[in-house]
Amino acid sequence: MKIPLFVINFKNYPEISGKKSVMLAKTAESVARSSKVKIVVAPPQASLAMVASQVSIPVFAQHLDFSQAGSTTGFMVPEIVKLYGISGSLINHSEHRIPFVEIGKLIRKLQALRMTAVVCARTPSEVKKLASLKPDYIAIEPPELIGSGIAVSKAKPGVITRSVKAVNPRNRKIQVICGAGIVDGADVSAAMKLGSRGILVASGIVKARNWKAKIKEFADAMER
């Protein structure tokens, strides 16, 4: 069983613009040093190389394209970002959906590069479909709860349990994590008790008054 995964998605919030991305990443790193949880940061695309050069914890892209190195202006190419120290990526986030066929190609490319693929799904039925592609993780996030402050673990606990059941019979190596609306340790504890093997959080961390205290609160809840 993999250790719990804690992904902090910075999105493109003003609170982490420019060098503030490095500040948040270093804060996460300081918590990771004393935690048994794998803490990963996913800064804005423009900050990827800068952040990766400043911290030792894993840095993921928020999105990558299935595109080749070379004459591919404007695309985020997996082989290129890996050279900057990026070790994985979110794929198919609700705010950046891509076709099913492209998801499969990206998963295979990332795994060939020994990078981690975290594929996002909106429903348990979508989790089941995506499990056939064998990503490393599937993040279940009902889009209506993203950024709402209403955690999926409380509002729709069945979404987590059904997602876990949808994956396990197909491939027990795939870990299900959850996100959407997580704001405190109680939300995290509830998710873990429902079978989630980690969390994907954005505004619950980025918009917190005290980044370190909030990250530690979430990490501690994952260890209980």
Q: Convert the pLDDT of each residue in 96-118 to its tens digit.
A: 999 999 999 999 999 999 999 99
Mean pLDDT of 13-23: 96
Tell me the three state secondary structure of residue 18: coil
pTM surpassing 0.85?
yes
Q: What is the pLDDT of residues 127-175, one digit of tens each?
A: 999 999 999 999 998 877 666 666 777 777 888 899 999 997 667 789 9
Domains in the chain, CATH or no CATH each: 5-223 (3.20.20.70)
Number of Cβ within 10 Å of residue 70's Cβ equals: 9
Distance CA 194, CA 190 (A): 6
The strand ranges marked E within 43-84 are 60-61
Positions annotated as catalytic residues are 93, 141
For 42-114, where are the alpha helices, taking DSSP H only?
48-52, 78-83, 100-112
Considering only residues 145 and 214, tell me which one the structure prediction assigns the higher pLDDT.
214
Q: What is the pLDDT of residues 24-62, one digit of tens each?
A: 999 999 999 999 999 999 999 999 999 999 999 999 999
Q: What is the pLDDT of residues 183-213, one digit of tens each?
A: 889 889 988 998 899 999 999 999 999 999 9
Beta carbons of 142 and 103 less than 8 angstroms apart? no
Question: Does the pLDDT at position 67 exceed 90?
Answer: yes
Starting at the edge strand that comes first in sequence, how are the strands of the sheet with 137-140 ordered?
38-42, 5-9, 198-201, 175-179, 137-140, 116-121, 88-91, 60-61
Element (H, E) at 5: strand 5-9
How much is the pLDDT for 170?
63
Tell me the CB-side half-sphere exposure of residue 191, using CA atoms within 13 A. 36
Distance CA 65, CA 158 (A): 32
Sign of CA dihedral 40, 46, 47, 52: positive
Question: Does the pLDDT at position 180 exceed 90?
Answer: no
